[in-house]
Amino acid sequence: MRVLVVGAGGREHALAWKIAQSPLVKKVYCAPGNAGTASVAENVEISADNINALRQFAMMKGIGLTVVGPEQPLVKGIVDSFEESGLRVFGPSQRAAEIEGSKVFCKDLMKKYDIPTARYEVFNSPDKVKLFTREDEPVVVKASGLAAGKGVILCNNGTEARSAIESIMRDRTFGEAGDQVVVEEFLTGQEVSLLAFTDGKTVLSLDSAQDHKAAFEGDTGPNTGGMGAYSPAPVFTDDLKGQVMNEIMNPTVRAMAKEGRQYRGILYAGLMLTESGPKVLEFNARFGDPETQPILMRIDNDIVPVFEACIDGTLAKCSLQWKPEPTVCVVMAAKGYPGVYEKGKEISGLDSAGNQEGTVVFHAGTRMDKGRVVTNGGRILGVTALGTDLGAAIKKAYSAVDKIEWDGIHYRKDIGKKAF
């Protein structure tokens, strides 16, 4: 079988790396890919949102399975387009992907079906903002549309909330994503990510992971696409997982079916473990990044049959085997990320880091330039290590990080520490 992975980030490198290990797979393509995916797949110079070109390529090459990494092509309808051409593709339809593409739709769905989430209000105009909490209470302001994981602003009071709404709706900080804004109550507790495969009926959960969204140590600074993750999350006990499956994951898949939006693919729940129980912060319609990197490193079986079962409606026959050892992914970013950063910096030490036992360096924002690997984005690498325990995995990951150099590195030095 020939497989096409759509995307160019660390998540896509991890997917291509795992898919390439399948005995069912003869050839992996990655569009557009990066300098890292080139080691396990053939890169194809087609952008992830050029759906027509991707479809034509898949038909020309006889692609037996396409796995879509990023949210943008899913929300634009890549699955619908491929299926209309008789191509097999893993991911939700355009209508189902709206669970991520519109935070307003997602919140309204949860309210309608009593799925635990934060109280909220929706605003279509900055002129109509009336805070639904007191002036001295913190709130969360979210652009409704896609904003590359950065469209969430934590506000300490009403003044900050109004400023955030002005920035999103008047200044168009996130473009069209800010046409509508959701204002939520501020939930406290530990955040956990739970991803699950689903064929629209059966829901098969992956092991938990804990992301680190903030740019700097101690969870300070602006939100990013994610500065690191580890799996499993000790705070997410088997009892909590059972509760989330019963109260959140299964009801959400059933709700989407009732709405005529049968959900097939990976469903990612960003959760807050509050004193009153787990609540949904957001749903994503695809694998998380960087959670995918440590999670896939722990899956012990071939995942290609699981992708196919989600497409065929036979997921009930599948199971996942897990390595017991925990994994840690440390994201190495460009200095200035998530703000302004430079590109084109030569990276050294990749072979030394990658040759370390139990370690994989997943590439994100990289490209080849005259035989050299250079930076080409905000998040550059996801250094991922497996250890006998979490402490050993952390030590191993940072040992590999220390071997890698370029001009202007930024990474958090506390990834995984919140588990202790």
CATH topology for the 327-419 domain = Glycinamide Ribonucleotide Synthetase; Chain A, domain 4 (3.90.600)
Q: Is the pTM of this model over 0.75?
A: yes
Q: Does domain 2-91 have CATH number 3.50.50.60?
A: no
Q: How far is Cα of residue 261 from the mean position of the Cα atoms in its chain?
A: 21
The predicted structure's pLDDT at residue 302:
98
22 pLDDT band (50/70/90 cuts)?
very high
What is d(CA 391, CA 189) in angstroms, rounded to the nearest whole number? 23
Helix (H) or strand (E) holding 59: helix 51-61
Give residue 131's pLDDT band: very low, low, confident or very high (50, 70, 90).
low
Residue 62 near residue 56, CB atoms below 8 Å: no
How far, in Å, CA of 111 to CA of 86, rounded? 36
Pairing of strands 372-375, 366-369: antiparallel
**Amino acid 129: pLDDT:** 65
Rounded to a whole number, what is the largest CA-CA distance in the chain?
A: 60
Q: What is the pLDDT of residues 167-211, one digit of tens each?
A: 888 888 888 888 888 999 999 999 999 999 999 999 999 999 999
Instruction: Give the separation between CA 123 and CA 224, rounded to whole angstroms.
Output: 24
Would you give the DSSP letter of residue 403?
Answer: T
Over residues 329-348, the pLDDT tens digits come to 999 999 999 999 999 999 99
DSSP single-letter state for residue 235: T
> Which CATH superfamily does the domain covering 119-185 fall into?
ATP-grasp fold, A domain (3.30.1490.20)
Q: Is the pLDDT of residue 105 over 90?
A: yes
224 vs 88, which has greater pLDDT? 88
As a whole number of angstroms, the distance between CA 412 and CA 219 comes to: 9
In terms of Cα–Cα distance, which of 285, 289, 283, 155 is closest to 224? 289
**The pLDDT value given to residue 166:** 83
CA distance linking residue 222 with residue 213, whole number of Å: 8
- pLDDT value for 130: 58
- DSSP code of 169? I
Residue 204, sorted as left (phi over 0), alpha (psi -120 to 50) or beta, turns out to be: beta
The per-residue pLDDT for range 365-411, each reduced to its tens digit, is 999 999 999 999 999 999 999 999 999 999 999 999 999 999 999 99
| Per-domain boundaries in the chain | 2-91, 119-185, 190-317, 327-419
pLDDT at 160 over 90: no
pLDDT in tens, 210-228: 999 999 999 999 889 899 9
CATH 3.30.470.20 fits 190-317, yes or no: yes
Is the pLDDT reported for residue 135 higher than 80? no
**Is the per-residue pLDDT at 29 higher than 70?**
yes
Q: pLDDT at position 132, please?
A: 55
Tokens linked to 86: 């008789």
Q: According to the model, what pLDDT value does residue 402 have? A: 98
- Identify whether the C-beta of residue 367 lies closer than 8 Å to the C-beta of residue 45: no
**Stretch 60-87: mean pLDDT, rounded?**
98
Cβ-contact 143, 131 below 8 angstroms: no
